[in-house]
Amino acid sequence: MADFNIPKHIAIIMDGNGRWAKKRGLPKIAGHSAGVEAARNVVEAAADIGIKVLTLYTFSTENWKRPKAEVDALFRLLENYLDKETDKLNKNNIRFRAIGDIDAFPPSLKDRLRRTMESTAANTGLVLNLALNYGSRGEILMAARKAAADICSGKLKAGDLDEKRFSGYLYTWDLPDPDLVIRTSGEMRVSNFLLWQISYAEIYVTDKLWPDFDKADLANAVSEYRSRERRFGG
């Protein structure tokens, strides 16, 4: 039987900004700017559909390998987005979250991220969750170290460490696992994204580059999800 419920949690690997810009003879930062606009539209669409959590893979731990000028431009785009959108997030009852090691970011960006999280903390609608300086292998190692420390201190018995308790050490400890993972640009990989959390997620890949992904595309992905039978290994 098909599952006609909408996904509670959608996670998106937003890929293709650079290729979008290259196809148009534009600098890569123009693709990132267009990607921000696409993200804004998808956030609105997710809230309208009734999605509970939207996680966007915004800046991975591997993205530090990009040219410094590009990284700095990405940080400015993110800070500008938060400056412009925080009031709108509150107006639309959207709660802003970030997962990852944001302490590595420039002070002004860290401050802006924390202020936006604090400003929207009481909102009860869509949770907009940005993965920033995030890598899933690093997250799992962090969780394993925390669990090991609790075992060594006697706070936790080794035999009591099960999947549910281990999940409590992850960045997403208070969020449901993703039901649907969307990847744009046609790439067939998960790129170190939420490896623990997406164990039973449905995967939807589109050839569209991220800046071209719009509200209709999100609706199509959700429709495809609803047509699938989820067995969870059964």
Q: Decide if 80 is catalytic.
A: no
- Tokens at residue 204, please? 């939807």
Residue tagged active-site, from 3, 17, 41, 63: 63
CATH fold group of domain 9-226 = Undecaprenyl pyrophosphate synthetase (3.40.1180)
Q: Residue 203: what residue type?
A: I
- Give the pLDDT confidence of 33-82 residue by residue, as tens digits: 999 999 999 999 999 999 999 999 999 999 999 999 999 999 999 999 99
Give residue-wise pLDDT tens across range 165-204.
999 999 999 999 999 999 999 999 999 999 999 999 999 9
Specify whether 3 is catalytic: no
Residue 187 half-sphere exposure toward CB, CA atoms < 13 A? 15
What distance in Å separates the CA atoms of residue 12 and residue 21, rounded to the nearest whole number?
Answer: 20
Catalytic choice (15, 177, 179, 217): 15
Strands (E), 15-126: 53-60, 95-99
Predicted local confidence at residue 234, as pLDDT: 63
Instruction: Put the strands of the sheet holding 202-205 in their side by side order.
Output: 95-99, 127-134, 53-60, 9-13, 180-183, 202-205
- Could you tell me the sign of the dihedral formed by the alpha carbons of 103, 174, 121, 210, in that order? positive
